A = this chain, B = another copy of it.
Amino acid sequence: MFNSVQETLPREEIEKIQIAGLRKTLKYLKNSNSCLKEKYKHIEPEDIKSLDDLKLLPFTTKDELRDCYPFKHIACDISDCARMHMSSGTTGVPVINAMTRGDIAQWGEIMARCLSCAGLTEKDRIQIMPSFGLFNGGFGFHYGAERLGCFIVPAGAGRSLMQLKLIKELEVTAIGAIASYPARLIEVARESGFDFRETKLRVAILGAETWSDEYRKRIEEEMNVKTFDIIGLTETGGVGLGIDCPARAGIHIWEDHYIVEIIDSETGQPLPEGKEGEMVITTLTREGLPLIRYRTRDISSILSYEKCECGRTHVRVSRIRGRTDDMLKVKGVNFYPSQVEQILLKYKGLSPYYQLVIETVKGKDEMTIIVEKADNGITQKELEHLDLELYDFLGFHSKIQVVPEGTIQRVPGKAVRIVDKRKKI
């Protein structure tokens, strides 16, 4: 473990740290430059007596942060900040997170814990494949690897042939990437006769997208690696909020830096262990953008507050199933693309390149699942079975269209899973 003291704190210690951190953050926010401080005018930090009191505080939403563009939500002076990252803004005004030196150190610490949790040490050579820049992925891995003492190959996004060449020639042992990117690497490897078994690669740390267990299994087999699911948002300080561990028993959230809650998206009420809902994050140590009860829109559940097999005591949540934004409602049924992916990828003859196309036909929703074939494709019998499985899960019939490899456009960055042609109301 990178920080074995902090990562194995007893539950009572964690709670003490969280209450103190929450009070401190509230006090700091109330006296800050943030325009959001008004929300806490009538709240006295010292009135927070237990973690249970957290639920008395108001939520913070992405829309509130967007209204603050560019810097009105930043708690300190911009001249006290060292730099910034920014959400993609593909679905509206972007959110900027300006970071102090303290924030960057905090980020390095939690990312180093994540890399260490994935089995990396200072002996590893990590190739960083998310882009470096406004997107936080590249720099997050960079600072974590620097803190841990790995050798960094700063490849950035794209150029898959070059990525493979470097993995092999530089004897790279680990990669960090956007979750859908390994599918592309595997495809290019196959086209060019590249064999992952002739490399020293053993770990792939993947995030920034929802990815199914079946996809995971396939990546692990084809790349001959162990994968780790890493999570984080621009708003909470970037990638590194949590990661799953070798015990594969959920994603540990670093609780000395964050409080996690799961709430009912509709009612806003906290949900008990095991219940699926929206993840809400409170930051305890962030300075540029401290957040109280930030609604992440990510869907997860609390798995356990008990000590994990890996020795870590920090809470475990389930892998993220999707974002509330990604949730589809077709013919009145709610589901996430990752759930369809999970079913598709049980079939060896189907590839991880798929799209769900939804349109209105004669006033009714119709969904077509376009999926590329892999290997020798899928037999008629398998196709019928898939159809049954999908119907079983969705409760309505969708059209399955198996297309040749390469049909779906390969895009840099996050994959496009949904093409919704329905008229928006």
Contacts and interface: CB of A to CB of B under 8 A. Distances in A.
Interface of A: 69-71, 78-79, 81-85, 96, 98, 122-123, 125, 131-134, 138-139, 145-146, 149, 151-156, 169-170
30 contacts: A70-B169, A71-B170, A79-B122, A79-B151, A81-B151, A82-B146, A82-B149, A82-B151, A82-B152, A83-B145, A83-B146, A83-B151, A83-B152, A83-B153, A84-B151, A84-B153, A85-B154, A96-B170, A98-B151, A131-B132, A131-B156, A132-B156, A133-B138, A133-B154, A133-B155, A133-B156, A134-B153, A134-B154, A134-B155, A139-B154
A125 B79 CA distance: 8
Contacts of A155: 133-134
A140 to B, nearest CB: 12
Contacts of A98: 151
A149 B122 CA distance: 28
A65 to B, nearest CB: 15
Given A82-B146, A82-B149, 7 more contacts: A78-B151, A79-B123, A84-B170, A85-B154, A132-B138, A134-B154, A134-B156
B83 A154 contact: yes
Nearest to A153: B84
Nearest to A169: B70
Contact of A152 (B79, B84, B138, B153): B84
A131 B159 CA distance: 14
Copies in the complex: 2
Contacts of A170: 70-71, 84, 96
- Can you list the 9 inter-chain pairs with the closest CB atoms, starting with the nearest? A132-B132, A133-B156, A83-B152, A133-B154, A70-B169, A81-B151, A70-B170, A78-B151, A132-B133
A98 B152 CA distance: 9
A319 B380 CA distance: 69
A415 to B, nearest CB: 20
Contacts of A169: 69-70
A214 B69 CA distance: 38
A79 B146 CA distance: 12
A78 B125 contact: yes
Nearest to A80: B151
A165 to B, nearest CB: 10
A354 to B, nearest CB: 28
Contacts of A83: 145-146, 151-154
Contacts of A78: 125, 151
Contacts of A125: 78
A290 to B, nearest CB: 19
A45 B170 CA distance: 33
A154 to B, nearest CB: 5
Contacts of A131: 132, 156
A129 B317 CA distance: 38
Nearest to A125: B78
Contacts of A84: 151-154, 170
A48 to B, nearest CB: 33
A169 to B, nearest CB: 5
Contacts of A79: 122-123, 151
A145 B98 CA distance: 15
Nearest to A136: B154
A146 B123 CA distance: 27
Contacts of A96: 170
A82 B69 CA distance: 36
